[in-house]
Structure 1
Amino acid sequence: MDDSDHHRAGFETYARTGAARRQLLAAVTPTDGTERVEPRRADGRVVATAIDADRPVPRYERTTVDGYAVRAGDTFGASERSPASLRVTDTVRAGTATRVHTGSELPAGADAVVPAEATDRAGGDLAVFEAVPEGRNVKAVGEDVAEGQRLFEPGRRLRPSDLGLVRAVGHGPVEVYDRPRASVVPTGEGIVESDPATGETVETNGRTVAQYIERWGGEATRREVVSGGADAVRAAVERDLDHDVVVTIGGTSVGERDIVPDVVASLGEVFVHGVALAPGRSAALGAVDGTPVVMLPGPPVGCIVGAVQFLRPALAALGHASPTPHPTTEARLTRKVPSEPGVRTFARVTVEGDGEGTRTATPTRTEGAGALSSVALADGWVVVREEREGYAADEAVAVEEWEGCA
């Protein structure tokens, strides 16, 4: 069965996860705004204009060891039994050597460096016990990076090491794409910001999703909880259509109060409602006036799974980037993980090691979308793809450390 197939259960149909994601990404139009920022502020930003080296690295012939700069020919034949004899001076010419340190500029007249441990100095006299060829222990101009060399193409998400290189080559401000702007609209009754009374729930989903948006390279606008029916939801969605993506939370299932997909459909289009995803089956995806709308379930774990599976790649596409693969840890399950065929299941696990490279993964919860602690206290999750009926105890699996990636 391919991703275009549907799995029937509960909803009229459930879209396969991959097919649903592709439909969402087809509705995404990447942002076209850019800005120039200093390298120190560009961590995590996406390159809009190619970055080339303004100068070579190194800019001068540089020594790579502590020792003595020499003319290589003066050390020809030097050995432990028959050392070459040189005079230590401030300049290098025939028969002389100059003290140098790692990273210092190679003195004029020198073409090699003898390591300090291959010499013996007595006052101004230097015995050299190792012959060095021309260029030994010397970095040539541009050996690391040539002047004008292309460093990063558009679409590259800049890392701290990238920015160190940008500074090393003398590059000033870099042009990067604007961060995608996402509004986060929690919905529901009895949801409060703090100090809940009986029957009330503290709002956590909106805050959690907004923090993920920031981590994933976007700018989040977190709205107050919307309650009061379809008109209030409609007004909230319409208000934020100037954003690059609208994210609603809650109201996506099949109860009387689950009105969000119907409201979005009345304004534009809902092309997915119900995904073969556990947890997170009631996720919905649509668009209004060209703005993608990601409708996440209200139960906390289903909300997070839906955000990772749909919102994260949408933000990457909006920002001209590709989502990086989740880091994974190989481990063996301590007990079985069940899964319904045709449904992509995310089983939260904790990982332990024995100090010798062997790791085990213990499921914290394989079912249920409401236990936030099952995510917060987990080290990652095991993804059971649609074609499998779970994993057996002691089976080797890949644990996705999804929370640690941008």
Structure 2
Amino acid sequence: MRSVDEHLTEILGGVAALPPLDLALLEAHGTVLAEPVTAPVPLPPFDNSAMDGYAVVAADIAAATEADPVVLPVVGDIVAGDSGVSAIRPGLTARIMTGAPVPAGADAVIPVEWTDGGNANVRVSRAAPAGNYIRRAGEDVVAGQVVVDAGTRLGAPQIGMIAAVGRSRVTVRPKPRVVVVATGDELREPGSPLGHGQIWESNAYMLTAAVAEAGGTGFRQATVEDEPGKVLEMFEDQLVRADAIVTTGGVSMGTKDVVKEVLAGTGTVGFHKVRMRPGKPQGFGLLEGTPVFTLPGNPVSAYVSFQVFVRPALRAMQGLDSDPLPTVSAVLANDVKSPAGLRHFMRGKLSFDRGAYTVTAAEVQGSHQLGSLASANALIELPEDVEFLPAGSHVDVMRLPS
């Protein structure tokens, strides 16, 4: 058997970052930026008003009070998007809208609430310092500043920032297109009736969702029966559209483990036993240059294998660090046992209270028991040399995607 680290090292050595693409801004949502984006101009590009109100010379209203307001003539209106050059001189004011350019000569903005809202003349009842409610040019971003770094996954704020500096397209690492397929004669589609010995297919649904959580685009392929010709045909069909293929089932030691039968000796795909629980039978390699991950058929084994091996690979394909799931140190709330010589990934409930994490291992840990996985939010990682840990011990805990 090989170790978890040895198997992951082989996988990461076999995948490469996808070539960058030039995409329209909204199409780039969720992808990873392949270039730094800089601001060609300062933001905001001009001094502008932070409020609806009146542009004034601060010295003109220095003595204004509720009891003794200052009255100023209103010489015009300035609205957002106003491209005309405007100015005021001392003793005058102009109505101004939020986002409108501050006129030359004015050094403060008085909100409407501090006035009587007059049109021809306005009564100002409060003084204000110079700079009051003025957004200065460049106070958000200066010209030439990098506003989004290469290697950033583009969420809504980053898309907004890139648009704000005038870019309509960006160069990104695309989302990996990952085909997910489950094999097995016993599998039936959810919603269909079950015969004796049959179960509803769940692994491919789960793993396709996990692909999306890892930043990829998942395509669930219809279940394939345990017939070598059909499995081979599936691979040939999917290679034309896939950046990676993930299978679940058919990789152990059974007489109908057809994925292993079809792929053994094909391309660089190899099959191994990995010193881990759950998820001992694993396969990986390149088929016509496309990474193929063959995961076990038990649902918890498939999911844990995805998080430990496939997720880091998908991150590497997006040009990101091949980091594991976010890991924290937590205190065990109950005793746990682990098989000697295997790295054990146990389902658990992680909580945070008074500055510390606590984790409770699930009572059932069978690789077929999806219920305890669905209610878990973490995987407790126990090293190979650990056979027992009492409550109160500190353990590393991988936080599952919410």
**TM-score, scaled to structure 2:** 0.80
Q: Aligned partners of 2:389 and 2:97: how far apart in 1?
A: 58
Amino acid at match of 2:243: D
Amino acid at match of 1:273: H
Give yes or no for contact 2:279–2:296 (8 Å, CA) kept in 1.
Answer: yes
Aligned pair 1:145/2:141, yes or no? yes
Give yes or no for contact 2:267–2:285 (8 Å, CA) kept in 1.
Answer: yes
Amino acid at match of 1:17: V
Give yes or no for contact 2:47–2:136 (8 Å, CA) kept in 1.
Answer: yes
Aligned pair 1:93/2:89, yes or no? yes
Deviates further, 92-101 or 43-52: 92-101
Aligned match of 1:349: 348
Amino acid at match of 1:44: G
C-alpha displacement at 1:49, in angstroms? 4.3
Give yes or no for contact 2:23–2:169 (8 Å, CA) kept in 1.
Answer: yes
Q: Aligned partners of 1:358 and 1:154: how far apart in 2?
A: 34
Give yes or no for contact 1:54–1:171 (8 Å, CA) kept in 2.
Answer: no
Aligned match of 1:52: 38
Q: Aligned partners of 2:122 and 2:139: how far apart in 1?
A: 33
Structure 2 residue matching 1:30: 3-state secondary structure: coil
Aligned match of 2:382: 384
Give yes or no for contact 1:46–1:158 (8 Å, CA) kept in 2.
Answer: yes
2:7 maps to which of 17, 20, 43: 20
Aligned match of 2:320: 321
C-alpha displacement at 1:148, in angstroms? 4.5
Deviates further, 223-232 or 181-190: 223-232
Q: Aligned partners of 2:42 and 2:132: how far apart in 1?
A: 20
Aligned pair 1:69/2:55, yes or no? yes
Aligned pair 1:253/2:264, yes or no? no
Q: Aligned partners of 1:68 and 1:325: how far apart in 2?
A: 55
Give yes or no for contact 2:4–2:276 (8 Å, CA) kept in 1.
Answer: yes
Amino acid at match of 2:201: E
C-alpha displacement at 1:100, in angstroms? 4.7
Q: Aligned partners of 1:317 and 1:245: how far apart in 2?
A: 12
Structure 1 residue matching 2:346: 3-state secondary structure: strand
Q: Which runs of 5+ in 1 are unaligned?
A: 1-12
C-alpha displacement at 1:205, in angstroms? 1.0
Q: Encode CA deviations 1:189-243: one digit per residue, 9 max, x unaligned.
A: 3222232211112111122212222343333333333334444434433443332
Aligned match of 2:187: 191
Equivalence map 1:5-404=2 (5 Å): 13=1, 15-32=2-19, 34-39=21-26, 41-53=27-39, 55-65=41-51, 68-74=54-60, 85=70, 87=72, 89-90=74-75, 92-98=88-94, 100=96, 102-113=98-109, 124-130=122-128, 132-133=129-130, 135-193=131-189, 194-242=192-240, 243-271=242-270, 273-322=272-321, 326=325, 332-340=331-339, 342-351=341-350, 361-365=359-363, 367-386=365-384, 388-389=386-387, 391-395=389-393, 400-404=398-402
Give yes or no for contact 2:115–2:122 (8 Å, CA) kept in 1.
Answer: no
Aligned CA distance change for structure 1 residues 50 and 81 (closer, same or farther; 3 Å): closer
Aligned CA distance change for structure 1 residues 221 and 113 (closer, same or farther; 3 Å): closer
Amino acid at match of 2:145: Q
> How many residues align structurally?
386
C-alpha displacement at 1:302, in angstroms? 0.5
Tell me how large the CA RMSD over aligned residues is. Answer: 3.6
Deviates further, 302-311 or 114-123: 114-123
Give yes or no for contact 1:55–1:170 (8 Å, CA) kept in 2.
Answer: no
Aligned CA distance change for structure 1 residues 392 and 115 (closer, same or farther; 3 Å): farther
Structure 2 residue matching 1:269: 3-state secondary structure: coil
Give yes or no for contact 1:37–1:176 (8 Å, CA) kept in 2.
Answer: no
Q: Which runs of 5+ in 2 are unaligned?
A: 77-87
Give yes or no for contact 1:47–1:154 (8 Å, CA) kept in 2.
Answer: yes
Q: Encode CA deviations 1:299-320: one digit per residue, 9 max, x unaligned.
A: 0011011111122222222233
Aligned match of 1:10: none
Q: Aligned partners of 2:51 and 2:342: how far apart in 1?
A: 59
Q: Aligned partners of 2:373 and 2:235: how far apart in 1?
A: 29
Q: Aligned partners of 1:313 and 1:359: how far apart in 2?
A: 25
Q: Aligned partners of 1:184 and 1:325: how far apart in 2?
A: 21
Aligned CA distance change for structure 1 residues 358 and 319 (closer, same or farther; 3 Å): closer
Q: Encode CA deviations 1:79-122: one digit per residue, 9 max, x unaligned.
A: 98999956252364213444556544323321233567878999
Aligned CA distance change for structure 1 residues 212 and 71 (closer, same or farther; 3 Å): same
Amino acid at match of 1:47: L
C-alpha displacement at 1:246, in angstroms? 2.0
Aligned match of 2:79: none
Give yes or no for contact 1:339–1:390 (8 Å, CA) kept in 2.
Answer: yes
